[in-house]
Structure 1
Amino acid sequence: MSVDVTADLRVKLDRIKTDILELAELGRDPADKGIYRMAFTDADMQGKQWLKDRIEDAGFEPLQDGALNVSAVLESGNDRPRILVGSHIDTVPCAGALDGTLGVVVGLECLRCLKENGIVPQRDVELIAFSDEEGRFGGMFGSQSVAGQMNPGAVATMKDLNGILLSDELKRHGYDAREALDAARDPESIAGYLELHIEQGPVLDHVQKPVGIVDEITGLFTWAVRLRGEANHAGTTPMELRNDAFMGLAEFANELPRILEENGSDRSRATIGKAQIMPGAANTVPGLVEFSLDVRDTSDETLDELAAALRKALSAIARRRNLMFDFEQMSYLQPVKCSELIVNQLTQQAKHLGLAYQTMPSGAAHDAQIMGRIVPVGMVFVPSKNGQSHSPAEWTAWSDIEAGANLLLHAIMSMTR
């Protein structure tokens, strides 16, 4: 009778702790305690080198492709399609310690565990830390490069909000951005992609479950909207004779709950996150407002219905208030369904480990969303304390990190048998 030696295999939490806390010091600002490791900054390049050193310490060869994605491979000795596991280590400005980093650190720990216990998988397992997931240069450069979504024009023109070209930033570090085109992988060479991530929302913390199993990753579109009225004197212009652009925005904002209820789903979200009133004087009726609109759902059809309803509402408000409106679509990401097979594997392993879990959508975009266009993907969430993320307050209990890491480890073992 054979005994399954992998059944009781667990990660070593102390190593995960050490790696997370070490990496968190790279790019940390002593004043606000936030981490500033934006893509391809000096701090980010230090983070990449730190990861290469940890990979080497674990007995693997550190690899880097043309998009500066950092990898390590636990080899199987055969050429079957491999399993990728990872996330990213770049951050937003004033970030916390876990967003992206957790998936990379835990992915490395899974490779270490398998290697140390003499487990030879039946297909290669590759850790990958994607570059620029946080979109400093307008996209998800690393995973888009691997997915074959880059082209020479995009690579040459991508720039950040300060006007710095991606090509110039990479050249500063001695790299040629055009080599990112060589990072594209053959989808047939990849059996699936797994990503562990903090939830970045309050659901798991609220229901007090240590892990979430993601079934869908939200799609989204963002608009830059303008409402044009007529600037006029605040004292001499009667209320009924005003073409007040801001009142148009206020009415539209008040309409959002109705539009979501009538045209959306329980997974729909709409946010006006930025607005500018012009001319911006206390004694002047606003003649122009410009604002952002971020709309999300896990269904393409629902997103289309919401877009139509939002345009109709803007048109009606503009007509009633004698305003002009126009908008520009700034971005669009299609929703992605996680692989049913991988979701089932994750569910089975959660039950095997005795973990309470929640099946849930991801309301944020991730590298898994890009990879999901070409290969089967799966995601594991762990709770975010009070739902906080993208701030120094971002945190997850070590016990929940351990639970998520063990679930990832056993999912990898299951998918590589």
Structure 2
Amino acid sequence: MSCKPKINSDRLRALLDGINRFGAGGPGEGYNRPGFSGAGGPGEGYNRPGFSGADMAVRDWFAGEMEKDGLAVTRDGANSVFGRCGDADAPSVMVGSHLDTVVDGGAFDGSLGVAVALECVRAMKEAGIQPAVPVEVAATSEEEGRFGGMLGSQAMAGLVTPEWLANATDADGVLLADAMRAQGLDPEAVPGAARPKGSVRAFLELHIEQGPVLEREGIAIGLPEGATGIVNLQVTLKGTANHSGTTPMDMRADAFAGLAEIATQIPGMIESAPSDIARITIGKVELLPNHPHTVPGESVFSVIIRDASEAVMRGLQRLFYRATAAVAAKHGLTHEIEEKSFIPPVAFDAGLVDLLSETAEGLGLPAKRMISGAGHDAQTMMTLCPSAMIFVPSRNGISHAPEEYSEWSDIEKGAELMLAALLRLTA
């Protein structure tokens, strides 16, 4: 006999804490952080970059947790981890997110969605509910972008090409293929992770908002109707490294001065765009030789362009290329721009968004429809199956930083909504 399932808040918190024992501690150790460390604390970074030791270790641990719950656990060629409850062969409703983090990231981004997914299945099993449609808990791999992002969901959707796989590198020049081999994985198995069309009926992902809107408006639930696309560029400016005391200002080919002038032009590019959600960000910068008494001879920096319209994104990309060329010529620099990756904007499945909205209303939870300014596995999964998301508020809108935090009362509301939606989709 079954009873009404309910989220066990203490159990969910313990699961999230368990995930965050991996890669926890202070900042700055990046990809070389050991696979397991202490529990960390407020203001400390979490380090589980894709295919790091900590990332591999947390997947082993999470797979063990799902096995304890009686789920059928599998891994695919991209090292995403799955736990299935229900018929082994029928199309599933997949729910989850990612376990990897940015370097010195927060405790909630990705991890919360994975923890909520497993807690929903635990709640169903505890209530004696056997879903008519199987539920598949997913912990996707390399979502955060060490090698471009969304690897796990792109692999499932059949979007990973052999050429991309052979050439994908991280910001330090490490090949994805080499990083996988270092962890005992076969990169040639990644294309085999593609799921057949029809094998997944729907994909749901709970995530922190990573922005300030829900908190500012006092709304506990966000329902994204779509997600912005992402163009990831790497720009190299080359000038001449020279002594900073003996080289006159008007005779310099200063790669940093070029970078700085390009950065000052970004607000004008955004103002010219026919969009109020367009973004251009210079996020990672390297200067060579990076010495206080030397004029920088080379700057290498990342540029991320986002918008909900591919046309707007490409228009901003063209503006950025023209501005870079003009600034480089002005400062006597050469320049190169490489498009490292492109993820198109996507609209989530309208039927699933409506179902989430109706379910939230039935639970008495005010929900705001919105656009996600961050990239998520759910947008890639739209290539394979109908997908949708649930957002919970982020304190001060902070994410990708140790200060990332979501109030537990909001987390509980998001988890209850996910559970209620899964019950409807798997009945």
TM over 0.5: yes
| Match of residue 42, structure 1, among 29, 50, 53 | 53
CA contact (8 A) 1:336 1:373 kept: no
Question: Which residue of structure 1 aligns with residue 32 of structure 2?
Answer: none
CA contact (8 A) 1:83 1:124 kept: yes
Q: Which amino acid aligns with 1:308?
A: R
Q: Closer, same or farther in 2 for the Cα pair 1:239/1:91, shift >3 Å?
A: closer
Question: Conserved in 1, the CA contact under 8 Å of 2:278 and 2:306?
Answer: yes
Aligned to 1:273, what secondary structure does the other structure show? strand
User: Which residue in the other structure is 1:20 paired with?
Assistant: 16
Q: More deviation in 309-318 or 360-369?
A: 309-318
2:204 equivalent in structure 1? 194
Q: Offset at 1:236?
A: 8.2
**1:257 pairs with 267, 270, 283, which one?**
267
Give the gaps of 5 or more residues in structure 2.
26-37
Q: Is the 8 A contact 1:151 1:181 kept in 2?
A: yes
**Shift in CA distance, 121/163, structure 1 to aligned 2, threshold 3 Å:** same
Match of 2:67 in 1: 56
Q: In terms of mean alpha carbon deviation, does 70-79 or 360-369 score higher?
A: 70-79
**Residues 1:273 and 2:268 are matched in the alignment:** no
Report matched runs for 1:203-352 at 5 Å. 203-227=213-237, 246-276=256-286, 289-318=299-328, 324-352=334-362
Q: Distance in 1 between matches of 2:111 and 2:147?
A: 19
Rg larger for? 1
Q: How does 1:160-179 map to 2 (within 5 A)?
A: 160-162=170-172, 164-179=174-189
Q: Return the TM-score normalized by structure 2.
A: 0.85
| Structure 1 position 68 matched with structure 2 position 64 | no
Output one character per residue of 1:327-385: Cα deviation in whole Å (capped at 9) or x when no partner: 22222111111111111111111111111222222222221122122222101111112
Moved more, 64-73 or 124-133: 64-73
Structure 2: how far apart are the matches of 1:44 and 1:238? 49
Which amino acid in structure 1 is aligned with residue 142 of structure 2?
D
Distance of aligned partners of 1:262 and 1:323 in 2 relative to their CA distance in 1, 3 Å threshold:
same
Further displaced range: 41-50 or 349-358: 41-50
Q: Percent identity?
A: 42
Q: Which moved more, 1:12-21 or 1:259-268?
A: 259-268
Deviation at 1:120, TM superposition (A): 3.6
Aligned to 1:188, the other structure's residue is in SS state: coil
CA-atom RMSD in angstroms: 3.0
Please report how far the alpha carbon of residue 281 of structure 1 lies from its aligned counterpart in structure 2 after TM superposition.
6.6
Q: Is the 8 A contact 2:262 2:327 kept in 1?
A: yes
Q: 1:162-204: per-residue Cα shift (whole Å, max 9, x none)? A: 5555445544554433233322101222222110011122222
Residues 175 and 331 of structure 1, relative CA distance in 2, 3 Å threshold:
closer
SS of residue in 2 equivalent to 1:403: helix
Counterpart secondary structure, 1:96? coil
Equivalent residue pairs, number? 411
Unaligned runs of 5+ in 1: none
Query: In structure 2, what residue type is equivalent to 1:56?
Result: E
Equivalent-residue separation in structure 1 for 2:204 and 2:351 (angstroms):
12
* Residue 279 (structure 1) shift: 6.3
| Distance (Å, rounded) in 1 between the aligned partners of 2:332 and 2:382 | 45
Return the alpha-carbon distance in structure 2 between the equivalents of residues 280 and 161 of structure 1: 17
8 Å contact kept, 1:210–1:403 = yes
How far did residue 386 of structure 1 move? 1.8
SS in 2 for 1:393: coil
What code does the residue aligned with 1:55 have?
Answer: M
Q: TM-score, normalised by structure 1?
A: 0.86
Conserved? CA contact 1:263–1:309, under 8 Å: no
